[in-house]
Structure 1
Amino acid sequence: MSELRGALTEYLSLRRSLGFKLRRQEKLLYQFIDFFASIGAPTITVQHALTWACQPMNVGNNWWSYRLSAVRGFTNYLHAVDHAVEVPPSDLLPWRSHRASPYLYSDEEIMALIKAAGTLSSPLRVTTYQTLIGLLAVTGMRVGEAINLNRQDFDARNGTLIVRDSKFGKTRELPLHPTTTALLKRYLASRNRGPYAGRAAALFISPTGGRLLYCNIQWTFHRLVRLAGIVPRTSHCRPRIHDLRHAFAVRTLLDAYRDGSDTQQRLTLLSTYLGHANPATTYWYLSAAPELLIKAAERLEYPRGEQA
């Protein structure tokens, strides 16, 4: 198994040199190697990959497909050296495309989430989650980007944040509203009073001084959703923390319609601010808002703001 682990290290290094991050795939592939070691088989077969991928039994086909795709990439790499290694075919456990409908939070719901965070177990957790939720709501940052922020990325004097090594390896600078800058300054003043603050590089830290973990944020956010009394609108429209990003995008473009601004120019700026590769990606964030569609229709009917 040491040879297989060594091959995995080389595979991950090669893929990462091409720009892939593979954090979740790395964890899954090490789990697959442990599973394969427990079998004691001489070489990896399609059946081994399929048996491992279809775990646990009580989840959907898409998760099985994701697990199998991780093994497929690794076995392709192994097969180039050892033809006895079998590669699962691409049509085995095909991915069924499904995108959840974004839950567009109202201002009142965001405030309810921040208020619910006031019930968390320690003063640091309270201020950390209240600040994190507020920052995600007013910047549309990805959760992973907020987790990766370091103290040095916040420029209090100029009111900016540097988002480093985000999706597709991009880095961008976000200008902040003065109220957001003040919020982060208050958070840092509170954070820096903790016993671990001096050793922590991360902007947002846990009570033990470590960088926040995505899984813990997700668990805490679902708890806050329940405390805030926010319920799913439909079976396909459930409140997620990522939907704060959708809500920010929709509010930004609605503001442009309401104040008569150039919406195409605002969309281009929004796409850059969100860190999208191009404005076409941003359209998905805007497609679920009926109010936005109404405003767009009104602009088409009365292009110069005339009334009927």
Structure 2
Amino acid sequence: MTARWPDRDRTTIGRYLASLDLRSMKSQTCYRQVLNGFQDVVERHGKLDQHVLVAWLRISAECWAATTRLHRTRIIDRFLDHLLKVGAIDRNPITALREACNIKQCMPVWRALASRNPEKAFAQLRRPQPFGSVLGEVMAEHVALMRNRGYKYSSQSERLLRFDYFLQWNPALQDQPIGVMLEHWAAEKATSNHAVECENLRRILTKIFRHRDPSIPPRRPDPRPQKEVVKHWRKPHIYSPADVRQILDIARSYPSPRAPLRPLSIYTMLLLAYCAGLRRGELARLDIGDVNLHSDTITVRQTKFFKTRILPLPDSVMIELRAYIHARRRAGASQDPRSGLFWHEPGRTRRYTPEAITWLFLAVIRRAGLKPQHGRTGPRLHDLRHSMVVNRILEWYRVGINPQGRLPFLATYLGHRDINSTLVYITVTQDLLHLANERFRAVGAPCLNLAQEVRS
């Protein structure tokens, strides 16, 4: 640690608190109390290491409850990151402990430090080295190969890592055939989701070893685990046009005294989620430069499967979007084309995250009475995308358009590779079933009668 921190006059803490721009006096007092107490402990020990962290936690236990103490560790995390960034310390002890344990989060490290026996807690917390098993090198090479080909390969990599950790925790399996390893892995859990993971793992491993030895015969996939999981999937809620109007009305009157632009932001986000079928991540990533007010289009960049699409919007949606952009400008938001379209007022330069969009939407539909006040049951934000598809097909039926010929256009608008992905969004409702039957009665039934006349 350099001599720049801890400093006797506490100017480092003062400058750090000023950079946070804390609006509440209570928050400023809390931050200052936590950081001053932490510096007192560091000054007494003279070295910023694991023992200092343990000492601070034990002293803090005298005045704070366990949950409060762990919550205050986040203040220390941010402060240590700041000190490392400005060069006031040479190393962050929390980061060093995370790297030693091969974990990404800080909170498990603090829980281990706060335990009665930190050494024993860290021994249980440490995870094996990634791809350190007998199959680790082969799997790591395959992940690198697929990523070099342009694939994200994130979920497959996580699946291979979980299997790799399992092999490292069970060294007796290291010399067994792969079939035996997979049998023990499948027996770890009896859930249907784990059965799907095991089937996907078998498929990936077969692909890996066939790349290395083409003489290995291909493996026939087993669709049964996936079908079993699909049976338990939650059926999407299809919002009626009346439900959508109610949600939009509540969004415009959403109470937000500290952020006056927020109600209009929520309203515009929900409007695009329903009328353009945007995912929550696509809403969060929209920039002000992605809106073209001359051609009445928005550009959705680098979404699922690395695709970018330009979506034309109806005049009614563009009127609302222009009104929001005008209100956003009056509120003092950045006009940089790369700044977030949906601007979070207190942050000045921040955009809404996908999690914040979901939280706000859930608050709106709970106010509308469409979702219980507590729990995860009921409609979701993504159900607006399902509703957009179903209601669009219903409208095509009502005006006499055959939806089958329009599905490729709908798939392109939604950002799908083909109509097979779009078919998942077609939930059969009573209205849809009735209109489909009416179309069959008007178009298909005469054909059947004609066939009977020809046979007679």
Both proteins in one fold, TM over 0.5: yes
Pairwise CA distance, 1:252 = 1.0
Q: Which residue of 1 aligns with 2:342?
A: 204
Aligned counterparts of 2:422 and 2:297: Cα–Cα separation in 1: 22
Provide, for residues 56-109 of structure 1, a one-character-per-residue CA deviation record: whole Å limited to 9, x for no partner: xxxx95777899999999999xxxxxxxxxxxxxx9xx7652332111112222
**8 Å Cα contact 2:386/2:427 also seen in 1:** no
Aligned counterparts of 1:16 and 1:242: Cα–Cα separation in 2: 29
Aligned counterparts of 2:295 and 2:141: Cα–Cα separation in 1: 42
Pairwise CA distance, 1:304 = 8.6
Letter matched to residue 110 of structure 1:
V
Q: Which residue of 2 aligns with 1:97?
A: 229
Determine helix, strand or coil for the equivalent of 1:226.
Answer: helix
Aligned counterparts of 1:12 and 1:281: Cα–Cα separation in 2: 26
Cα 1:199/1:64, change in 2 over 3 Å: farther
Q: In the alignment, does 2:398 pair up with 1:258?
A: yes
Pairwise CA distance, 1:119 = 2.1
**8 Å Cα contact 2:289/2:338 also seen in 1:** no
Which of 152, 163, 185 matches 2:322? 185
Letter matched to residue 321 of structure 2:
L
The count of residues paired between Structure 1 and Structure 2 equals: 280
Q: In the alignment, does 2:176 pair up with 1:176?
A: no
Q: Which residue of 1 aligns with 2:422?
A: 282
Letter matched to residue 413 of structure 2:
Y
**8 Å Cα contact 2:280/2:358 also seen in 1:** no
Q: Which residue of 2 aligns with 1:273?
A: 413
Pairwise CA distance, 1:116 = 2.8
How many percent of aligned residue pairs carry the same amino acid? 29
Higher RCO (CA 8 Å, separation ≥ 6 residues): 1
Q: In the alignment, does 2:251 pair up with 1:111?
A: no
Which of 146, 171, 194 matches 2:332? 194
Aligned counterparts of 1:161 and 1:191: Cα–Cα separation in 2: 17
TM-score, scaled relative to structure 1: 0.70
Cα 1:305/1:130, change in 2 over 3 Å: farther
1:216-227 alignment runs, 5 A limit: 216-227=356-367
Pairwise CA distance, 1:189 = 1.5
Cα 1:277/1:74, change in 2 over 3 Å: closer
1:52-131 alignment runs, 5 A limit: 61=191, 97-98=229-230, 99-117=233-251, 118-120=254-256, 122-131=259-268
Pairwise CA distance, 1:200 = 5.5
**8 Å Cα contact 2:288/2:337 also seen in 1:** no
Q: In the alignment, does 2:304 pair up with 1:167?
A: yes
Letter matched to residue 138 of structure 1:
C
Letter matched to residue 119 of structure 1:
P
Aligned counterparts of 1:205 and 1:75: Cα–Cα separation in 2: 45
Aligned counterparts of 2:200 and 2:419: Cα–Cα separation in 1: 30
Q: Which residue of 1 aligns with 2:383?
A: 243
Pairwise CA distance, 1:205 = 2.4
TM-score, scaled relative to structure 2: 0.50
Moved more, 219-228 or 197-206: 197-206
Determine helix, strand or coil for the equivalent of 1:302.
Answer: helix
Cα 1:187/1:11, change in 2 over 3 Å: farther
Letter matched to residue 339 of structure 2:
A
Cα 1:12/1:217, change in 2 over 3 Å: farther
Cα 1:149/1:303, change in 2 over 3 Å: same
**8 Å Cα contact 1:100/1:236 also seen in 2:** no
Aligned counterparts of 2:309 and 2:302: Cα–Cα separation in 1: 9
Aligned counterparts of 2:235 and 2:403: Cα–Cα separation in 1: 23
Cα 1:218/1:286, change in 2 over 3 Å: same
The RMSD of aligned alpha carbons is 4.4
Moved more, 263-272 or 124-133: 263-272
**8 Å Cα contact 2:298/2:313 also seen in 1:** yes
Pairwise CA distance, 1:112 = 2.4
